[in-house]
Structure 1
Amino acid sequence: MSLPSALSARLGRFHRLLAVVITGFASGLPLALTGQALQAWLTQDGLDVATIGFLSLVGLPYTFKFLWAPLMDRFEPWPALGRRRGWLVLTQLALGGALLLLARTPPADALALFALLAVAVAFLSASQDVVIDAWRTDLLPASERGIGASVNVLGYRLAMILSGGVALIWTDPVQGSGMSWPEVYRLMAGLMAGAAVCSLLLLPRIPLLTDAPRAEARHDLAGFAAVMAAVVAGYLFTQQVAQPLAAALLAPLWEGGTVTPALRTRWADLLALLAGLALTLPLAGWAARRARFETLLGGLRGYFSQPQAGLVLAFIVAYKLGDAFAGTLLTPFLLKGVGYASAEVGVVNKVLGLWLSIGGALLGGVLMMRLGLWRALLLFGLLQAASNLGFWWLAVHGRGQLPGLVLPAFDWGFVALAQATPVDGGLLAVIALENLTGGMGTAAFLALLMSLTQQRFSATQFAMLSAFASVGRVWVGPLAGVLAESLGWPTFFIVSLLMAVPGLLLLLPMRATLQRIAPSADTARDD
C-alpha cells in the first residue's frame, strides 16, 4: 500500500471511529433523563413514591423498539443524506424539542402532560438507538467492530456520567451549583440539537441500498398497525385476565407462610407477565404474517437462516446473566448489606465506576483486535463472572479491610464537590474489578451483535438482538430479591457466579461460527 493510500485509510478509520464516539454520546444522553434524573426531579418536586414508581413505566419504549425498527429499515426520510442519517437528524431534533417541552412542564401541576412528554422522550430516544445501532453496523468493516464497540461505549458512558451523575451534582443545593431541573433539561435539549448538527455535517455517508427487494409501503404500515394491535390485546389480556388468575392460582401456596403481601403481588405479576408474553408473541407473529409485514418477517428470516441462529440467540440471553444478577441489587447491598454512606457509593459506583467501565471497554476493544471475537468473549466472560467473587468477599469481610483514600473537594467549572468524601479501599477494589471486566465483556458483546446483523435488515435485527440481550437485566430482579433475602448476601453472590456458567458453556459449540463471521488477526493473516 502506497503512503498516500495508507494515510487515506488511516484518516478514514479515524473519521469512522470519531463518528461512533459522537453517536454513542448522543445515544447515552437521553437515557438517564427518563430514569434516574427524572426520578430525582419528581422527588424534589414533592411527588409521592407511588407516583414516581408508576412514572418509571415511561421507559417502556426501550423494551419494544424492535416493533417499529422495521419501518426505519424500510423508509428513508431524507434520501440525499444516504442510509440512516436522515433518521438520525430527525430523531435528534425531535428529542431536543421534546426535552424543551418537558423542561417547561411542572410535574406537580400537570402530571398527565408531563408523563406523556416523558414517554415521547423515551420513544424518540429508543428510536434514535435503533438508527445508531444500525448505522454503526452498516458503517464499520468487520476488522473495526471490536474497537468500534469500545469507542461507542466510551461515548455512551460519558453521556451517562453527564446526564446521570453530573446532573445530580448540579442540582444539589449543598454540594453542587443549585441548578434547577428545568435548566438541566434545557441544557440537554441544546446538546441534542448539537448532535443533530454533527449528524448532518460530520458523519460518514452510507450509500442507499438500491438493489434490495422492498415490500410495498402499505404492507409495512399495515403490518406495523397489526403488530401494535396484537400488543395492545396482549396487554389487556395480561391486566384483565392473567393477573387475577395468577393471584388466584398462587394463593394456596401462600397460606400459612411468611411471604409478605408485597412479595406475593410481585410473584403474581411475574406469572401474569409470562402468560401475557406467551399469548402476545405468537399473536404478533400471526398478525405480521397476515398483514404481510415483509420488512419485519424478512429480517427475522434473514437472521434465522444463519448457522446456529437459535444457539446464538440463547447465548445472547445468557452471556450477561450473571453480571445482571449481581448488579440488580448492588446499591441496596452496598448501602444496607455493608453499610456504606450514600455519598461514598455515589462517587465510587456512579462516577469512578463509569470511568473504569470506559477503560475496560477500550482495553477490550484493543485486545479483541488480536484475540478475535470468540476468544475475547470467552476470556472476558470468565473475568466478568469472576468479578462477582469480589462482592462475595465484601459480603463476608465487610468494610475496612483494605486501606482507602479521601476524595478531596473540587471545582472543575462544569461540576464541583463541596466536601471531601472518604472512599473505602475494599469498595474501590471491588467496583474497579467489576466495571473493568464488565466494560470488556460489553465491548465484545456489542461486537457480536454487530457481526450477526445483515445490512439490509440491520435496524430490525439489531433491535431484536438487543431486546433479547436485555432479558436478564429485566427479569432477574424478582428472583434476585427473593434469593438475597432467603440465602443471605454471601450465598447470593455465589449463585450469581453460577448464573454465568450457562452462557460460557453455550459459547463452546459456537467457536467455528464466530471465527467465521469475525476472525482474529492471526486467522486473517493465515487466510
Structure 2
Amino acid sequence: MAVLGFGSGLPFLLIASQTLSTRLRDVGLDLGSIGLISLASFFYLLKFVWAPLIDRFAFPGLGAMGRRRSWLLFSQVTVLVGLFAIGATHPEQGVWWLVVWVLVASFAGATQDSVVDAYRIEIAPKNAQAALAATYTLGYRIGLILGGAGALYVADFVDWQWAYAAMAGLMLLPILTTLLCREPPRPEGEQIRRVDAAQAFWEPISSFFSSHGVAFSIVVLVFVGIYKFPDQVIGVMAGPFYLDSGYTKAEIATVAKVFGIWMGILGAFLGGGAVAYFGYRKMLLVAALGVAFSNLAFLLMAHNPGQLWAFYLAISADNLCQGFAGTVIVAFMSSLTDRNFTATQFALLVSLANLPGKFSGSFSGYLVEATSYSTFFFLSAMTIVPALALLAWLWRHIKEAEPASTTDTP
C-alpha cells in the first residue's frame, strides 16, 4: 500500500496542483490563466462517474490480472506516458497541447486513485482503515516530495522537460509493484452482489442512501464536500505565491516539497493514531479547526516576504494539519463504504471532498489580483464555518469503529 500510495502521490502535483502552476508561472503566464488551466485536471473530481465500471469489470485485455490489478496497470502506464508528454510541451508557445495531455494524465491519475482506494479498503477490516490510510499516506507523501521537490530541483538545475521525464520514469516502481502484487480477496462473510451494467451505475448510490438514511447521507455528502475547502481553495495559488514572495525554486523545493511533506507524513500518522484512540467525531472537529488555522499561518509569509523563518513556520502548520486532516477524513469515509461497491462509493466521497475547493480554486487567481494574498488567506480560513455547523448536526449520528483486536488484523 505504501508503494501504491507513492504511485498515486507522484503525479498529483505535476498535473493537478502546485508543480504545474509553478511551471506555468515560471514561463510567464498570468495568475488568471493559471487558475483556469487548472480545470484541465477536473477528472480527479469526476472519477466516481466511471468508478462503477472499475467495480464491475476488469480492464479489457488484462482480465487475467483481476479487476483491481488490470485497472491499476492501465492507469499507471497511461500516467507515465502523460507525464512525459506534458514535459515535452512548451506552454510559453501555446497551452493547448499541454491542456490535452493534462486531461489524459488526470483521467489516468484519477482512475489509479480509485483503484488504489478500493484495494486498500478491501484488504483490511474497518477498524484497521485508519492505520492503513496512514501507511498509504506515507507512500503518497513521498510521491509528493518527488513530484514537488524533485521536479523543482531538476527544473532549477536543468529544465522543466527533464524534470517531467524524470518523474515519468519513477512511475516504473508502482508499475512493477502492480505486476508483483496479488489481487485482493473477497471479504469473508460478505455476499458480493452481481448487477447488470445499468445497475452498476445506480445501485452504489441507492445502496449508500438506504444504508445510512436519506437525511444522514445528504448531510454527510455536503459535509465531506466542504470539510477541506479552506485547504483546497489555496492549492492552485500556493506555487505562484511562493515565487511572488521572493523565494527561489530551490528554496520552494526544500521548504515546501521536502520539509513540508515530512511534516505532512508526521501529521498523517498522528491522525491515524488519534482516530484509533479517540474516534472519528472528536478528531473531525480537531482536524477541521487545524485546516482553517493553517491558512492563517500563511499571513506570516505575506507580511514577511522572502524570510525563510516565516516560510518554515507557515509550511509546518499547513502540512501538519493537512496530513492530520487527510488521514481522519479518509478513515471516516472508508467506514461509510459498502464493500459491494467500494470503488464507486469511495470515489464519490473523494470527488465531493475535492470538487468545491477545486472549482473555486480555478478562480482564485482573479480574487488575489482583485484584493491581496493576505485577504485571500483570511477569507479561505473563514470558509470552515459551514463545515463546523454540519459536524454539530452529525455528531450524534456518527458511528465509531469497534477497537481492533489481535484476531481481527488483516
Sort the TM-score into its range (normalised by shorter chain). 0.7 to 0.9
What is aligned with 1:228? none
Residues 328 and 473 in structure 1, CA contact (< 8 A), matched pair in contact too: no
Is 2:360 aligned against 1:476?
Answer: yes
Given the alignment, which residue of 288, 300, 316 partners 1:381? 288
Q: How far 1:115 moved relative to its partner?
A: 5.0
* SS at 1:65 equivalent: coil
Residues 323 and 438 in structure 1, CA contact (< 8 A), matched pair in contact too: yes
Given the alignment, which residue of 188, 192, 217 partners 1:309? 217
* SS at 2:48 equivalent: helix
Distance 1:298 1:192, change over 3 A: same
Q: How far 1:436 moved relative to its partner?
A: 0.7
Q: Does 299-308 or 115-124 show the bigger shift? A: 115-124
Cα-Cα RMSD: 3.7
Is 2:176 aligned against 1:197?
Answer: yes
Q: How far 1:84 moved relative to its partner?
A: 1.3
The aligned amino acid for 1:304 is F
What is aligned with 2:11? 30
Residues 35 and 362 in structure 2, CA contact (< 8 A), matched pair in contact too: no
What is aligned with 2:399? 515
Residues 6 and 142 in structure 2, CA contact (< 8 A), matched pair in contact too: yes
Q: Aligned partners of 2:365, 2:99: CA distance in 1, in Å?
A: 28
Q: Does 161-170 or 67-76 show the bigger shift? A: 161-170
Q: TM-score, normalised by structure 2?
A: 0.81
Q: TM-score, normalised by structure 1?
A: 0.65
What is aligned with 1:232? none
Distance 1:128 1:481, change over 3 A: closer
Distance 1:203 1:155, change over 3 A: farther
Structure of greater Rg: 1
Is 2:264 aligned against 1:357?
Answer: yes
Q: Aligned partners of 1:75, 1:425: CA distance in 2, in Å?
A: 52
Distance 1:372 1:332, change over 3 A: same
* SS at 1:205 equivalent: coil
Q: Aligned partners of 1:104, 1:394: CA distance in 2, in Å?
A: 34
Q: Does 452-461 or 425-434 show the bigger shift? A: 425-434
Residues 25 and 240 in structure 2, CA contact (< 8 A), matched pair in contact too: no
What is aligned with 1:90? 74
What is aligned with 2:44? 62
Q: How far 1:444 moved relative to its partner?
A: 0.3
Q: How far 1:91 moved relative to its partner?
A: 2.2
Given the alignment, which residue of 297, 312, 316 partners 1:432? 316
Given the alignment, which residue of 58, 69, 74 partners 2:56? 74
Q: Does 94-103 or 423-432 show the bigger shift? A: 94-103
Is 2:380 aligned against 1:496?
Answer: yes
Residues 152 and 253 in structure 2, CA contact (< 8 A), matched pair in contact too: no
Structure with greater contact order relative to length (CA < 8 Å, sep ≥ 6): 2
Q: How far 1:72 moved relative to its partner?
A: 0.6
Residues 387 and 437 in structure 1, CA contact (< 8 A), matched pair in contact too: yes
Q: Aligned partners of 2:90, 2:369: CA distance in 1, in Å?
A: 39
Aligned pairs for 1:172-187 (under 5 A) are 172=156, 176=157, 178=158, 181=161, 183-187=162-166
Unpaired segments ≥5 residues, structure 1: 1-19, 221-292, 401-421, 523-527
Distance 1:197 1:423, change over 3 A: same
Q: Aligned partners of 1:189, 1:74: CA distance in 2, in Å?
A: 29
Q: Aligned partners of 1:423, 1:106: CA distance in 2, in Å?
A: 32
Unpaired segments ≥5 residues, structure 2: 406-410
Q: How far 1:199 moved relative to its partner?
A: 1.5
Q: How far 1:372 moved relative to its partner?
A: 1.2
Q: Aligned partners of 1:110, 1:479: CA distance in 2, in Å?
A: 21
Q: Does 456-465 or 190-199 show the bigger shift? A: 190-199
Is 2:202 aligned against 1:297?
Answer: yes
Q: How far 1:63 moved relative to its partner?
A: 2.5
Q: How far 1:103 moved relative to its partner?
A: 6.2
Q: How far 1:366 moved relative to its partner?
A: 1.8
Q: How far 1:340 moved relative to its partner?
A: 4.0
What is aligned with 1:414? none
What is aligned with 1:276? none
Q: How far 1:392 moved relative to its partner?
A: 4.4
Q: Aligned partners of 2:287, 2:392: CA distance in 1, in Å?
A: 14
Structure 1 residues 227-254: Cα deviation after superposition (integer angstroms, max 9, x where no partner): xxxxxxxxxxxxxxxxxxxxxxxxxxxx
Distance 1:496 1:33, change over 3 A: closer
Is 2:149 aligned against 1:165?
Answer: yes
Residues 323 and 500 in structure 1, CA contact (< 8 A), matched pair in contact too: no
Residues 266 and 323 in structure 2, CA contact (< 8 A), matched pair in contact too: yes
Q: How far 1:147 moved relative to its partner?
A: 1.9
The aligned amino acid for 2:167 is M
Q: Aligned partners of 1:180, 1:493: CA distance in 2, in Å?
A: 29
Q: How far 1:501 moved relative to its partner?
A: 2.0
Structure 1 residues 148-170: Cα deviation after superposition (integer angstroms, max 9, x where no partner): 22222221121122122212211
* SS at 1:84 equivalent: helix
The aligned amino acid for 1:23 is L
Q: Aligned partners of 2:21, 2:294: CA distance in 1, in Å?
A: 30
Distance 1:43 1:499, change over 3 A: closer
Q: Aligned partners of 2:395, 2:84: CA distance in 1, in Å?
A: 48
The aligned amino acid for 1:449 is M
Report the number of matched residues.
396
* SS at 2:399 equivalent: helix
Given the alignment, which residue of 129, 134, 137 partners 2:121? 137
Q: Aligned partners of 1:320, 1:74: CA distance in 2, in Å?
A: 30
Residues 88 and 132 in structure 1, CA contact (< 8 A), matched pair in contact too: yes
Q: How far 1:445 moved relative to its partner?
A: 0.9
Structure 1 residues 38-85: Cα deviation after superposition (integer angstroms, max 9, x where no partner): 5677788x7976997776554232222221111111112455545512
Aligned pairs for 1:89-128 (under 5 A) are 89-99=73-83, 116-128=100-112
Structure 1 residues 354-410: Cα deviation after superposition (integer angstroms, max 9, x where no partner): 221121112211222211111211122222323334334665xx329xxxxxxxxxx
Distance 1:321 1:121, change over 3 A: closer
Residues 373 and 519 in structure 1, CA contact (< 8 A), matched pair in contact too: no
Given the alignment, which residue of 328, 334, 338 partners 1:444? 328
Structure 1 residues 411-441: Cα deviation after superposition (integer angstroms, max 9, x where no partner): xxxxxxxxxxx85323322221121112101
Given the alignment, which residue of 453, 459, 470 partners 2:343? 459
Residues 333 and 346 in structure 2, CA contact (< 8 A), matched pair in contact too: yes
Q: How far 1:349 moved relative to its partner?
A: 2.6
